[in-house]
Structure 1
Amino acid sequence: MNIILGIVAIIVVLVIAYLLSNQRSLINYRGIGVMILAQLLITWFMFSTTIGQTIINGISSVFNKLIEFGNAGVDFILGGVMQAEGGVFFFDVLLLIIFFATILSVLTYLKILPMIIKYLGGLISKITGLPKVESFNAVNSIFFGQSEALIAIRSQFHHLTANRLYIVSASAMGSVSASIVGAYMQMLPAEYVLVALPLNMFSALIIASVIAPVHVPKAEDKVDISDVSNDKSIFEAMGNGALEGGKIALIVGTMLVAFIAALELVNWIIQAIFAGVTLQQILGYVLAPIGFLMGIPASEVIEAGGIMGTKIVTNEFVAMLEFQTLLGQVSEKTVGIVTVFLTSFANFSSIGIIAGTVQGIDREKGGEVSKFGLKLLLGATLASILSATIAGLFI
């Protein structure tokens, strides 16, 4: 029954994307089929095979060891400051972003990450038929934040039509930055966070390819990674990475203060009108039908829908913090499905971040992103539903 519901959810998502399509005659059905098959194989391999489980455990161990190293730096600057029972979120989670951003900056300076991203992107381009720039950007978006991923392809922006711009923007919104994956793993089960990375990459490309299909002549299909880093030495890369990580940590912390406070305000207003009702409950009922199709048990679908809705209207950190308190109260299936759904940047604030980044690169194209901003969020949300549904088939 769960498999049938999952298939129905996938069909519903693809039909909605089809209805939103800008040019249905250009949709590459073969490429979309290949990417869905890749998602199914990846999820089966990671969840259902001994080798896959070993790989997940190995990657988790690497992240845990890096978190230990990061904690050594955090402990040093805290200097024995007393912390409340259960820790302090800013110290225990957000400050780790600094260390992860430093590592990414060094790997970029050494040209290790750019080469991996280029060849993985090239492989995806060959098997799916997508242009190289879009494929490169999709892989790049797994490692870097929304702004950084788009800036990395700034030299190719003059090639991007409105549809191609939609695809690269959708990849940026539908993914997460590797610099904050460690923070996610401090809150939610690592195996589901990790499987969400490749699933969301493919889902963003699938939905965007249906909504904004493209055909690019080979002569225009090029990727340039020659200027991905402006650092002159490894020490400069470390310093710039640390500063960038610090900014990300402060931005996330600032947004959490604003969004959580705003959520409390909205709930106070709602409860003044309807006693005992919260925004999360309203969102839970709105998203309950699709949550049920995704595989969430009927008894848990309202709570889960509320968490997913919270993520869309605020951000993934706010939703993860709320969901963390429910981990021992809901089924493993719900934990996996909701975790995969939450592991992306698909929320309202991302529209402004992406539009602002593109505006800084190309003013005219920044205006185009603003015009299709809501469609971008809808597409990214459909991608999150697709990823979570596929994960649910194997949990």
Structure 2
Amino acid sequence: MDIILGLIAILAVIGLAMLMSNNRGKIPFKGIGIMILLQLLVTWFMFQTEIGQNIITGIADVFNKLIEFGTYGVNFVVGGIQVGENGVFFFDVLLIIIFFATILSVLTYLKVLPLLIKYIGGALSFLTGLPKIESFTAVNSMFFGQSEALIAVQSQFHRITENRLYIVSASAMGSVSASIIGAYMQMLPEQYVLVAIPLNMFSALIVASIIAPPVVEDEDDDVDIDDVSGAKSIFEAMANGALDGGKIALIVATMLIAFLASLELVNYIVGVVIPVEGASLEAGLGYLLLPLTFLMGINPGELVDAGSIMGLKIVTNEFVAMLELVDMQGQFSEKTMGIVSVFLTSFANFGSIGIIAGTVAGIDSEKGKTVSRFGLKLLTGATLASILSATIAGLFL
């Protein structure tokens, strides 16, 4: 029954994306079918085979070791501050981002990541028939944040049409940055975070290619990685990465303060207006998303609670929702935990519309206005992509 519901959910996502499509006659169904098949194969391999489990464990061990190194640096700076036994989220989770951002910056300067991304993107383009720039951006989005993923293709912006702009923006919104994966893994089960990364890459491309099918000539489809770093030495790359990581940590901390405080305010108002035990914004979102969570394969007794966390992520951000999930994880089954965790592992929320529109405007002011115009459509597509990823993960749990 769960498999049937999951297949219905996948068809529903594709159907909704087709309703939003601006050119149904050009939808690349062959490439979409190939990517869905690749998603199923990747998820089966990672969840159901011993080799896949060993790969997840190996990658998780590497990240955990890197977290140890990052923690050493954090402790040197803030180790004298007395904290409670539960620690401090800013010290224990967010400041680790600085070290991960430094590593990414160095690997980018050394051309390790750009070459890897270019050739994986080229292979994806060859297999699916999708354009190279879109494929490159999708792969790039597995490693870099929304702004960085778009800046990496800024030299190609003059040849990117509105449909292609939608796809690269959707890939950026439907992704997560490798610099904050370590932070996610300290809150969510590591296997779900790691599986969500490739699933989201495919899902964002699938949904965006249906909504805004790309049409491109061969001569308008080159990818340039000659100057993606901008640093003149490895030490400058380290400094740039550390500063970028520090900015990310502070931005996340600022957003958490604002969103969590606002959530408390909204829930207080809801409690006054609706004096019923359990009345809250999260509960309302849970009931609103109940049909969706049912199709995704979440256990019947957990539908409302799971939906509340998923809805909270859309209206706030993934960190707010993850903190809520940490508090409630003892109430969820393993399958529900996996589905919700995969859904949360992306940047698909209202705040991301402004981030992406601002980044694009910094590259090309006219295209920035275009992104602002289709901002809600972009969020809807990215949310459908998260639903697709979580549903496919649920088929194997």
Provide TM-score, normalisation by structure 2. 0.99
Q: Partner amino acid for 2:291?
A: P
Cα distance, 1:81 vs. partner? 1.5
Which residue number corresponds to residue 384 of structure 1? 386
Which residue number corresponds to residue 320 of structure 2? 318
Cα distance, 1:209 vs. partner? 0.4
For residues 349 and 221 of structure 1, what CA distance do their matches in structure 2 show?
A: 30
Which residue number corresponds to residue 347 of structure 1? 349
For residues 87 and 295 of structure 1, what CA distance do their matches in structure 2 show?
A: 35
Residue 66 (structure 2) pairs with residue 66 (structure 1): yes
For residues 19 and 56 of structure 2, what CA distance do their matches in structure 1 show?
A: 37
Which residue number corresponds to residue 285 of structure 2? 283
| 1:114-157 Cα deviation digits (max 9, x unpaired) | 00000000000010111000000001111111001100100000
Q: Partner amino acid for 1:57?
A: T
Which residue number corresponds to residue 337 of structure 1? 339
Cα distance, 1:325 vs. partner? 1.0
For residues 221 and 110 of structure 1, what CA distance do their matches in structure 2 show?
A: 25
Q: Secondary structure at the match of 1:142?
A: coil
For residues 363 and 323 of structure 1, what CA distance do their matches in structure 2 show?
A: 38
Cα distance, 1:98 vs. partner? 0.1
Which residue number corresponds to residue 359 of structure 2? 357
Aligned pairs for 1:66-85 (under 5 A) are 66-85=66-85
Q: Partner amino acid for 1:290?
A: L
Cα distance, 1:230 vs. partner? 1.1
Which residue number corresponds to residue 111 of structure 2? 111
Which residue number corresponds to residue 124 of structure 1? 124
Which residue number corresponds to residue 186 of structure 2? 186
Aligned pairs for 1:1-395 (under 5 A) are 1-275=1-275, 276=277, 277-395=279-397
For residues 86 and 265 of structure 2, what CA distance do their matches in structure 1 show?
A: 26
| 1:42-84 Cα deviation digits (max 9, x unpaired) | 0000000000000000000000000000000011001322111
Q: Partner amino acid for 1:379?
A: G
| 1:192-251 Cα deviation digits (max 9, x unpaired) | 000000000000000000000012111111000001011111111111100100000000
Identity of aligned residues (%): 71
Q: Partner amino acid for 2:129?
A: G
Aligned pairs, number: 395
For residues 370 and 81 of structure 1, what CA distance do their matches in structure 2 show?
A: 43
Q: Secondary structure at the match of 1:328?
A: helix
For residues 79 and 230 of structure 2, what CA distance do their matches in structure 1 show?
A: 34
Cα distance, 1:391 vs. partner? 0.0
For residues 221 and 99 of structure 1, what CA distance do their matches in structure 2 show?
A: 34
Q: Partner amino acid for 2:252?
A: V
For residues 90 and 79 of structure 1, what CA distance do their matches in structure 2 show?
A: 13
Unaligned runs of 5+ in 1: none
Cα distance, 1:329 vs. partner? 1.6
For residues 193 and 396 of structure 2, what CA distance do their matches in structure 1 show?
A: 15
For residues 75 and 281 of structure 1, what CA distance do their matches in structure 2 show?
A: 38
Question: After the TM superposition, which segments of 4 or more aligned residues of structure 1 sit over 3 Å from their partners?
Answer: none
Q: Secondary structure at the match of 2:298?
A: coil
Cα distance, 1:266 vs. partner? 0.8
Cα distance, 1:383 vs. partner? 0.2
Q: Which one is further off, 297-306 or 270-279?
A: 270-279
